[in-house]
Structure 1
Amino acid sequence: MDPLRQNKLDEALVKIIAYDYQPFSIVEDKGFREFLKTVDPSYTLPSWKTLSQALLPNMYEKLRAEVFVKIKNASAVCLTTDCWTSVTSTSYMSVTCHYVQDFVMTSHLLDCFVLTDRHTSAHLLSELKRVANEWGVSDKVVACVTDNARNIVAAVGDQLHWDHIPCFAHVLNLIVRAALKEIQDILQKIKAVVEYFQRSTVASDKLKAIQQQMGQEQLCLRQDVATSWNSTYYMLKRFIEVKDPAIFTLVLINAPVSALSTEECEIVQETVDILKPFEEVTVEVSTERFVTASKVILMARGLQRIVARHQRNPSVHEPVQKLVDSLMSDRFSKVEQIEKLGDATCLDPRFKKQAFVNNMAADDAVKRITAAAAHIHPSHTEEVEGQDPAAAASTGAMVWEDFDKTVINTRPSSSTDASTSSSSTAAMMEMRAYLAEPLLSRGSDPLAWWRMCSPVYKTLCEVMKTRLCIVATSVPSERIFSKTGQNITDRRNHLSPSKVRELVFLNANLP
């Protein structure tokens, strides 16, 4: 076979392992070998050892080099990180990188590796510093987004001195989890019902039959997970959707679990309605393909207004009213004071200063952005227009003595001061003109606007790249663990940490 074609098929085989979570032993499976023989009899299928020890590492190193070059060209990056323990009781840590490249949000997994020591702030600090140094981004990190665990907050903010941004999805999780305690008894009853239907084949089959008789779609009940509040929302939402056939089934088969009363079902319905905006916000801010940090202030305020509306129209059910009161959390109160979020909001042409409730916070954001723009503004050198340098040099100094003495105190003390003054003025003029621009429609792409207007707002555009690259949540790092968990399966339970690292990296970064 042509070596080039052999290499392409080898790479495709590695992608099957990385993309589809297939075991290396697939090359020994009779059906797979027969399939490849039918497709291309000339292809020499590598052994699982060659696949694992040569082909996979080679593709990993190749892709790593490509990603490194891309990140090297980024002017600023935002990192996210999180930790997770697998079903094999192995602890992993992931680090993702986000930046604006050619006016497009770009994301990469930098590393997903085993944590071999306790999760102390010192150990997390050491690992974060190692990853940042390996990828050459130590001096480019403008923010690091994590949950609010003390160890990681201390490592990021107190020791690495990176700006720490609290994960907005984590904040929402804490708020809603606390509020759901007000209907804990009802939640437990629903969980018991869900578990019963999942455990009992007779009950689940009867439920499907009754749904069919009622002309309803055959939907299964959903169970929640302790770490994700929106999974509880989905559990409640699904329960409401199948409420009538589910309760009828429980009564019909005399199930050993308690069915919900009419009042309890009303409470669940109201809870779902109240929590729906929280779920929508969680989904919207958890993306990594679009600008998200600039939305946090507006979304926090929007959720507060919705909750306040429910408070003004109290529920007849006391548990629901207590849940609503709990949702009016003071965790939202200082969101405008998180400087990088304020800057990102102001630099989003959809929002600017209009997103702020606190005028002082908006003005502070404008000042910070203007100062940053002035700092990066190109130096201006003084020129004497229309004068021959040779003629000026030959002219006697005495002729200009009186004039020079007159103007010397009106000039900046040095060329550096003059450049700084000029840069500050230019930055202020740019900022003033930018703020005077009409707001972009909310559904528009802010980065596309900056692409179009970058020739006009050159320095602000450079500052923008250091703010709109910030993501609102650490969900990108959490998603990596979903991939990691799928890699460690029954057929792949003997993977070494180094192989998991390579496979997850390929899965996350391959186009």
Structure 2
Amino acid sequence: MKKKPAQDFVFDPKLCRELMTKFCIHAEIPFLKFEDPYLQVWIDSMQPAFQIKGRHTVRDDAMKMYQEMKKDIEIEFENLDSRICLTSDMWTSNQNLGYMCITAHYIDAGFNYKKKIINFKEVRYPHTGFAIEEAIVSCLTEWGIRNKIFTMTLDNANNNTTACEEFVKYHKNELLLEGQNLHVRCCAHILNILVQDGMKIIHRSINKIRELLKHIETSPTRLQDFNTIAIAMGLASKKGMCIDVANRWNSTWKMLVQALVYRSVLDSYASQHLQEYPIEEEWARAKGICDFLKAFEELTLTVSAHRKPTSHQFLPVVLCIRHALKDPAWQTSEVLKELASVMQTKLDKYWDPNEKDVDQNRRRKSKEIELNPALVIATFLDPRRKANYLDFFYSKVCNSDDQVCNHVDAAIDMVKKYIREYEQLATTGTAYSTPSSQGGSIIVGSPIVGKRKLEEEFAQYRSRRRTTRVQRSELDTYLEEICEVDMADFDVLNW
């Protein structure tokens, strides 16, 4: 044997069965595979003492493991002092059945970021806001966390807005500040819509490139012909073509980048196989847009990260988008000016707090998006930015100094509201007790007792004096401290 055990090996059938179940779950092995006649033969060649169970038993083992893991998470939720943020999306099966996936995001006592998928269930048709709200409430009730929710991040669909409104209407007493900032519109989803709208101006070029790549990809012979041309032109061969997913703009961007690298190869291949391909002008438009969208690819990766918190990066992302759309240095051609104009129109609808052509009443009626205060506060709580960044941000997006002051003051007031809310929760939810200062061996009248009593009285007096003289909060201290240095590997939770 190449790999010999470090010590005498003792076969444990229970452990083997448990590990087999974990492998089955992780590798997504169909339960039916465990009734394959060659599986037991293979296992016998390694360990004859281990008997493979049937598919029903393996399924029961998997469900038992699931229930044990679920119980562990329920206990973790029960002991959790922080609030939980939810993200959710709908998924449609091949049978056109709608399913909802809900993920819980939270920070544990050690300030470690956690995420757990807590729901993947069918939602009754039609998928109205009421049906979505019913599914969310059912999930939260099942896990016992209805009173621990802070925000829900959903895509920008009207039924999701209705679902959040219904949730706040019936459960506002269980939410912080009665759910004022419950609904967060998914930044990644809005960014996707933003760029998708812009890319419509070159949809003909994209369709031609996509169809040409599909023609190559669907036949090994045609792929070989493509690689023959590529090698002759000094380019690397391809194992397969990068074809986009229609509803993910960055996959389209990657497809265009690949196509531009192999442009001469694609032109030659299309001519030989009598396929339609982009003309010179269409290639030029695609190249200009690809260079422009590189910045948006980086922003998409920033807001799509799912193993670390991202809410404190929301305002910087908005500023980056605005800068890219308004900076004349980016708009070097008519196609880029057109692209920026289309995307700016969509941006004004979603994030611009000072859209000139839309008054507040119209905004409310059309349910257009304003900045969620929770996201503003998250940026404020980034020790590299604090209140200074709010001043900087609103000075970029507002039309007057008064508007800047109003927005910053409103954000600080909202922070104070949350602090008071948490203080009240801490006061009502925690019982404090003062331990007795007297020991059993010390008699009444002892000088030691008198000394300790005086020390306690002085400590209380000193505490009262400090409280009355200096009314300082943790928020004041946070604001007065110097901002942290902004480094690429800065970890806000570790701070």
TM-score class normalised by the smaller sequence: 0.7 to 0.9
Match for residue 225 of structure 1?
A: 245
Task: Please say if residues 236 and 272 of structure 1, whose CA atoms lie closer than 8 Å, have aligned partners that are also in contact.
Answer: yes
Match for residue 176 of structure 1?
A: 195
Q: CA deviation at 1:152?
A: 1.7
Q: CA deviation at 1:265?
A: 1.7
Aligned ranges 1:383-402 → 2 under 5 Å: none
* More off after superposition, 32-41 vs 428-437: 32-41
Q: CA deviation at 1:135?
A: 1.0
Match for residue 75 of structure 2?
A: 69
Is 1:350 matched up with 2:370?
no
1:322 corresponds to which of 318, 327, 338? 338
Distance 2:494 2:383 in 1: 10
Distance 1:131 1:121 in 2: 15
2:21 corresponds to which of 14, 17, 30? 14
Is 1:371 matched up with 2:417?
yes
Match for residue 59 of structure 1?
A: 65
Distance 2:321 2:91 in 1: 29
Distance 2:483 2:11 in 1: 53
Distance 1:448 1:313 in 2: 37
Distance 2:153 2:79 in 1: 22
Distance 1:347 1:68 in 2: 29
Is 1:438 matched up with 2:445?
no
Distance 2:407 2:236 in 1: 50
1:42 corresponds to which of 39, 49, 70? 49
Cα deviation, 1:203-237, whole Å, max 9, x if unaligned, reads 31111112222332223332222221222112111
Task: Please say if residues 146 and 166 of structure 1, whose CA atoms lie closer than 8 Å, have aligned partners that are also in contact.
Answer: yes
Distance change in 2, residues 1:3/1:123 (3 Å):
farther
Task: Please say if residues 125 and 160 of structure 1, whose CA atoms lie closer than 8 Å, have aligned partners that are also in contact.
Answer: no
1:246 corresponds to which of 244, 263, 266? 266
* More off after superposition, 270-279 vs 429-438: 429-438
Match for residue 92 of structure 1?
A: 99
3-state SS of the aligned residue for 1:447?
A: coil
Task: Please say if residues 351 and 371 of structure 2, whose CA atoms lie closer than 8 Å, have aligned partners that are also in contact.
Answer: no
Amino acid of the structure 1 residue aligned with 2:31: F
Q: CA deviation at 1:336?
A: 7.2
Amino acid of the structure 1 residue aligned with 2:243: Q
Distance 1:35 1:306 in 2: 60
Q: CA deviation at 1:176?
A: 0.8
3-state SS of the aligned residue for 2:473?
A: helix
Aligned ranges 1:387-426 → 2 under 5 Å: none
Task: Please say if residues 6 and 43 of structure 1, whose CA atoms lie closer than 8 Å, have aligned partners that are also in contact.
Answer: yes
Task: Please say if residues 130 and 166 of structure 2, whose CA atoms lie closer than 8 Å, have aligned partners that are also in contact.
Answer: no
Which blocks of at least 5 consecutive residues in structure 1 are unaligned? Answer: 384-418, 450-511
Is 1:361 matched up with 2:407?
yes
Amino acid of the structure 2 residue aligned with 1:344: A
Cα deviation, 1:261-303, whole Å, max 9, x if unaligned, reads 2332222111111111211111121122111011111111112
Is 1:207 matched up with 2:207?
no
User: Could you say which structure has the greater relative contact order, defined with CA pairs below 8 angstroms and 6 or more residues apart?
Assistant: 1
Distance 1:436 1:336 in 2: 29
Cα deviation, 1:5-37, whole Å, max 9, x if unaligned, reads 323222222222221121112212344333322
Q: TM-score normalised to the size of structure 1?
A: 0.73
3-state SS of the aligned residue for 1:327?
A: helix
Over aligned residues, Cα RMSD in angstroms?
2.6
1:148 corresponds to which of 128, 153, 156? 156
Match for residue 6 of structure 2?
A: none
Match for residue 297 of structure 2?
A: 279
Q: CA deviation at 1:150?
A: 1.1
Task: Please say if residues 35 and 55 of structure 2, whose CA atoms lie closer than 8 Å, have aligned partners that are also in contact.
Answer: yes
Amino acid of the structure 2 residue aligned with 1:208: N
Distance 1:4 1:123 in 2: 51
Match for residue 302 of structure 1?
A: 320
Match for residue 120 of structure 1?
A: 128
Task: Please say if residues 297 and 336 of structure 1, whose CA atoms lie closer than 8 Å, have aligned partners that are also in contact.
Answer: no
* More off after superposition, 430-439 vs 351-360: 351-360
Amino acid of the structure 2 residue aligned with 1:113: K
Which blocks of at least 5 consecutive residues in structure 2 are unaligned? Answer: 1-8, 170-178, 354-368, 395-403, 435-463
3-state SS of the aligned residue for 2:52?
A: coil
Task: Please say if residues 353 and 362 of structure 1, whose CA atoms lie closer than 8 Å, have aligned partners that are also in contact.
Answer: yes
Distance 1:134 1:361 in 2: 39
3-state SS of the aligned residue for 1:35?
A: helix
Q: CA deviation at 1:446?
A: 0.8
Cα deviation, 1:137-185, whole Å, max 9, x if unaligned, reads 1111110000111112111134335410000011011111111111121
Task: Please say if residues 124 and 131 of structure 2, whose CA atoms lie closer than 8 Å, have aligned partners that are also in contact.
Answer: no
Distance change in 2, residues 1:30/1:238 (3 Å):
farther
Distance 1:370 1:160 in 2: 21
Distance 2:121 2:78 in 1: 22
Q: How many residues align?
A: 403
Distance 2:335 2:71 in 1: 56
Distance 1:430 1:242 in 2: 58
Distance 2:304 2:31 in 1: 33
Task: Please say if residues 78 and 144 of structure 2, whose CA atoms lie closer than 8 Å, have aligned partners that are also in contact.
Answer: yes
Distance 1:157 1:96 in 2: 20
Distance change in 2, residues 1:133/1:288 (3 Å):
same
Cα deviation, 1:24-60, whole Å, max 9, x if unaligned, reads 12212344333322332211211111112x2121111
Distance 1:141 1:28 in 2: 44
3-state SS of the aligned residue for 1:89?
A: coil
Distance 2:370 2:95 in 1: 42
Distance 2:119 2:216 in 1: 40
Distance 2:156 2:421 in 1: 32
Cα deviation, 1:372-397, whole Å, max 9, x if unaligned, reads 2234336699x9xxxxxxxxxxxxxx
Is 1:338 matched up with 2:372?
yes
Is 1:259 matched up with 2:277?
yes
